[in-house]
Amino acid sequence: MASRKLLFGLTAARRASPRASVRLSVSPLLEASTSASHAAAPVTKPSGGSPWALLFSPRAFSSKPPAQQSAGDVPAPSAVDHKLIMPEDKFHKLADDTIHDLLEKLEEYGDSQQMDGFDIDYGNQVLTLRLGDLGTYVVNKQTPNRQIWLSSPVSGPARFDWDAATDGWVYRRTGVNLMRLLEKEIGELCGTPVDLS
């Protein structure tokens, strides 16, 4: 019977008191560590000093903690805006020159190869080199990123940035040069060295 009265009391208390979102302080140390822009909201204390007063208080807790940043935190770096790094017209000149040189050299190399399925195609700013059963290479420009992208049947996808210090396209993760990578992979696949410089 006592449990029914307690359950009835809980239900009645829920209906009678509206819920309000209240942020509670955990400790003065935590409040001191938050920045001025995240000042703690005032704490409401339930009337009465018994544990039952806490149970029946109209508090609701937020599941999201407030964002905290101490004075020593440094904001995360923003994404690189490649438009600021290299003007678009300069990128097109460098990328087009590279892809056209690559096309000419691969056509010459293909003429000297006796390989079934060796085919090179350039259209819509995409260079495609087919090596029959050995796989297909795709080289294309990515203007928004100011990069040349490569899809290789050996090493997979890679994105190359222009490196003025070496005067070439470099994959930043590994430091490999686009032309050196292609020379190595195509030469090994075809069994004949290729010079793309």
pLDDT value at residue 20: 45
Return the pLDDT at 156: 96
Q: Residue 28: is its pLDDT beyond 80? A: no
177 contacts 102 by C-beta, under 8 angstroms: no
Q: What is the pLDDT of residues 130-186, one digit of tens each?
A: 999 999 999 999 999 999 999 999 999 999 999 999 999 999 999 999 999 999 999
pLDDT classification of 113: cutoffs 50, 70, 90: confident
The tokens describing 186, both together, are: 């195509």
CB atoms within 10 A of CB 175: 9
The confidence score (pLDDT) of residue 110 equals 92
In the numeric block, which tokens belong to residue 191?
């069994």
- What secondary structure does DSSP assign to the chain, as a single string? -HHHHHHHHHHHHHHHS--EE-PPP--HHHHHHS-GGGPPPPPP--SSSSHHHHHTS-EE--SSPPP---TT--PPPPPP-HHHHS-HHHHHHHHHHHHHHHHHHHHHHHHH---TTEEEEEETTEEEEEEGGG-EEEEEEEGGGTEEEEEETTTEEEEEEEETTTTEEEETTTTEEHHHHHHHHHHHHHTS-----
Domains (range + CATH), the chain: 82-190 (3.30.920.10)
pLDDT higher for 28 or 148? 148
Give the β-pairing of 168-171 and 156-163. Answer: antiparallel
Q: What is the pLDDT of residue 116?
A: 85
Looking at residue 58, what is its pLDDT? 52
**Mean pLDDT value of segment 59-68:** 48
- Lowest average pLDDT, out of 72-76, 98-102, 134-138, goes to 72-76
Q: Is the pLDDT of residue 99 over 50?
A: yes
Structure tokens at 167: 């005067």
Q: Closest by alpha carbon to 25, among 39, 5, 7? A: 39
> How high does pLDDT run on average in the chain?
75
**Amino acid letter, residue 95:** A
Mean pLDDT, residues 46-63: 51
Strand pairing partners for 126? 123, 140
Q: What is the pLDDT of residue 87?
A: 94
User: Average pLDDT for residues 74-85, to the nearest whole number?
Assistant: 50
Q: Which residue has the tokens 């790094």?
A: 85
Share of the chain above pLDDT 70, in %: 57
pLDDT in tens, 5-16: 544 554 554 555
